[in-house]
Amino acid sequence: MGYFEELVRFLAQSGTGDLKTAHFKDEYAGLKVKVSFGKGNPARVTWISFLAGGQQISNGIYPFYLYYKKQNILILAYGVSETISPEISWKITYPEKIGAYFKQHNIGKPARYGDSFVFKVYKDPQNLSRIEVEKDLRDILKIYRQTLNQTSGRDDVTAPEFIYTDFQDKIAACNLHISAQITLRFIASLLSKPFVILTGLSGSGKTKLAQAFSGWICGGRDQICVVAVGADWTNREPLLGYPNALEPGKYVRPESGVLDLILRAMNNPDKPYFLILDEMNLSHVERYFADFLSAMESGEEILLHPELSGTEDNIPSRISLPKNLFIIGTVNIDETTYMFSPKVLDRANVIEFRITLPEMEGFLEFEAAPDLENLHAGGAEMGAHFIHISRDKNFKLKHKEQITAVLLSFFKELQPAGAEFGYRSASEILKFASMVNRIEPSWTAHEIIDAALMQKLLPKVYGSRRKLEPVLRAIARHCVKNSEKIDDYFNSKKELSELGPIYFPVTLEKLGRMYRGLIDNGFTSYAEA
């Protein structure tokens, strides 16, 4: 995902005599990509174009990058074919031709493409900002699709690619303070396994994140169901309803709307649907959610009722959990809630929310309530591709050997505590890693492993001091280069910043909190009040 690395490689090669282009992507965001460094001889202007179906370099319109070597400027342009005048025009206000830009800035005449229009000029191409480049490309591609859709009268000319940073940009503008790291982990977790549990400090944004992302990626509010879990839930009826024993042929739908959401998801497989269970652990999850937990792994259908004599309620006797249904549970830990069993934790990615001092300082300085209405359906056009990614079984994984080595080392340390992981967890960690590779290629192996350890392995670690104290110490030594300093950190004699190189800082910080809780209370677990 993203085009920044390709653009950087393009600029580097533009300064050489190498004219080969086979190593560049030939497709991006559903568009055909063409790259040119010249034919026979290096060109004075090298370029990258993004072409929708029916558009050609010689006859059409297209977004493209133009690198003017002499002036050392890169222009992202509304491209217009030079050979044949295109039949359609860009839908833009106050267009500025590249030729006019050169004249206004006294930099001579453009060697070529002077009749194309300026979208953005990068005056220092050797020091580009990834965030700026990715956002600019997303914006011009959106304008391109809108132009083509308006011309053709269709809504599906080019299906846009899912790019998670667009969501991060939008929530920041809406005063929702969620770190980019948490956002990435959350979205990659949904893509790798459609069941995510958000835990941590009350009021830290867990429910807001779930509502914000679902509202942004969904085109309609009927694709989202937010349910406040009741403390009296002892069976599945609040989620799935039940057959009416007094009126044969009748089925009582749950007031929560969950069953209706599942049925809509089954009927619209290319749209994402979200079930948000707020305060999920107010009741025993294993009781009311057992059918969902079983269906997630077995793929078997959930029996709702025997075949009814009547069909007036239009409820099937069995349902499958749709692949386009994403379940998010939020969790608070206090004396009114229940702990999760390993069965539940094993089937989810668990993401812990914490608030740092700089984050709180920033919030207090610019306090403003989040405005989630401005997010509504902002990423709905990416929904189909979001579903496509989540269903893709042919994932590619970088750093597999490194990730495998770390997992095996942690397996050995967790085994004495009975907290070792099984095949399912190992497979889901690899899938999570591949999803991060896909939507954020800049993340290192250590960052991916750090997140995976926090989400899939540590949540299952709990027990007494006798059982866990040596295990936590052993695990922590794998997180740092200078393992001899771990005892000082655990005993609060040193801060994280004093430990030297740290491989997995998020995991190590959590281990420190768990260890101190173990010493103070004689018992510890991942969940904290």
- pLDDT per residue of the chain (529 residues) written in tens, 0 to 9: 578 999 999 999 999 999 999 999 888 877 899 999 998 899 999 999 999 888 989 889 999 999 999 999 999 999 999 888 888 889 888 889 999 999 999 999 999 999 999 999 999 999 999 889 988 998 899 889 888 877 655 444 455 778 888 898 888 878 888 888 999 999 999 999 999 999 988 878 899 999 999 999 998 999 999 999 999 999 999 999 998 888 877 899 999 999 999 999 998 988 999 999 999 999 999 999 999 999 988 889 999 988 755 555 778 888 999 999 999 999 988 766 777 887 888 889 999 998 877 777 777 776 667 778 888 888 888 898 899 899 887 777 888 899 999 999 999 888 887 778 888 889 999 999 999 988 888 899 999 999 999 999 999 888 899 989 999 999 999 999 988 989 999 998 999 989 999 999 999 999 999 999 999 999 998 887 5
Alpha helices for 106-175 (secondary structure H): 130-152, 164-173
Strands 462-464 and 523-525: antiparallel
Beta bridge partners of 50: 33
114 torsion bin: left (phi>0), alpha (psi -120 to 50), beta (else):
alpha
Domain boundaries, the chain: 4-152, 164-390, 392-525
**Each residue of 436-453: b (16+ CB within 10 Å) or e?**
bbbbbeebebbbbbbbbb
How many angstroms separate the most distant Cα atoms in the chain? 86
For the entire predicted model, the pTM comes to 0.75
CA atoms within 13 A on the CB side of 269: 6
Report d(CA 98, CA 101) in Å as an integer.
5
Q: 4-152 with 164-390: one CATH topology?
A: no
Q: Which CATH number fits domain 164-390: 2.40.430.10, 3.40.50.300, 3.40.190.10, 3.30.200.20?
A: 3.40.50.300
DSSP letter at 56 equals B
Taking domain 4-152, whether its CATH number is 2.160.20.70 is answered by no
| Contact (CB, 8 A) for 520 and 529 | no
